[in-house]
Amino acid sequence: MRQWLSVLCCLALAAAVLGGTSQVGAQGGGSIVGEVKFSGTPPAPKVVKVNKDNQACGDEKKSEELVVGANKGIKNAVVSVVGAKGPAPKPAQKPLLDQKGCQFQPHVLLLPAGAEVDIQNPDGVLHNIHTFSTANPSINKAQPKFKKVMTEKFEKPEIIKVQCDAHSWMLGWVVVQAHPHYAVTDEGGAFKLDNVPAGKHKVEVWHETLGKMTQEVEVKAGAPAKVTFELAKK
């Protein structure tokens, strides 16, 4: 019995390694689908009045700190399988962190460790990329209007806050992945983790203002495991 289990594990690992190319349910892998929901009455979204560079930035910005959808789904939460192994797949396209309209897009960017990211400034005003990290060097680099693209690399897995001091409302997150099994929730709070090896897993959700939560999930080959998180204001 035990031998069987370890063989299964090996297979699962192989599936994980090959995750980038293999299809859902193949080689004993499964998927985790689910939702991240807000528990309680969601607060009204914060709106920041823009007091500079209005031509590029507009007159007001909706804060993306906590975006709750129609059925209380939380956008921009990061769901990952705790302790999963293997390198994250190379993205098909070079990841892009855009600052169009004085706003980081995407608000949460998934990035494989060691991958390069293009940081774009199409606004024609000064931005500065100020990261708050501990594992990676904490950088603060200016990106003036004529510097349309800058390239950065983050070597070590970490969730990194990114801000622009020139525009105090600008806030974004770069999630440097330790392994392939990460997902960011969509508008409705839904996510899908593909190619998760079968077996019992701890799944963690992280949200920038609501914190972390974990749940145990059993993944079976070929069938999507369902999980719902309910996050409340701390």
Q: Which is nearer to other proteins, 75 or 167 (CB)?
A: 167
Nearer to other proteins, 49 or 200 (CB): 49
For position 145 contacting other proteins by CB under 8 A, the verdict is: yes
| 112 and 178 Cβ atoms separated by less than 8 Å | no
Contact residues for 227 (Cβ-Cβ < 8 A; gap 6+): 32, 33, 34, 203, 215, 217
Q: CA Rg, the chain, in Å?
A: 19
Of 83, 144, 211, 222, the residue at the interface with other proteins (CB under 8 A) is 144
Residue 119 exposed, middle or buried by CB count within 10 Å (0-12, 13-18, 19+): buried
What is the x/- site pattern for other proteins, positions 106-125, by CB under 8 A? -------------------x
The answer to whether 109 touches 171, Cβ cutoff 8 Å, is no
Which CB, 128 or 214, lies closer to other proteins? Answer: 128
Minimum distance from residue 170 beta carbon to other proteins (Å): 11
- Residue selected from 43, 83, 122, 137 as contacting other proteins according to rule CB under 8 A: 137
**Interface with other proteins in residues 39-68 (CB under 8 A):** 51-52
142 binds other proteins (CB under 8 A): yes
Cα–Cα distance for residue pair 137/214, rounded to 1 Å: 28
Minimum gap (Å) between residue 51 Cβ and other proteins: 7
User: C-alpha dihedral over 35, 215, 179, 13, to 10 degrees?
Assistant: -110
Q: Which is nearer to other proteins, 14 or 166 (CB)?
A: 166
Interface of this chain with other proteins, residues 155 to 214, rule: CB under 8 A: 165-168
Q: Does 153 bind other proteins (CB under 8 A)?
A: no
**In sequence order, what DSSP letters do the residues of 165-206 get, joined into one string?**
TTSTT-EEEEEEESSS-EEE--TTSEEEEEEEESEEEEEEEE
| Contacting positions for other proteins (CB under 8 A) | 51-52, 125-126, 128-132, 136-147, 150, 165-168
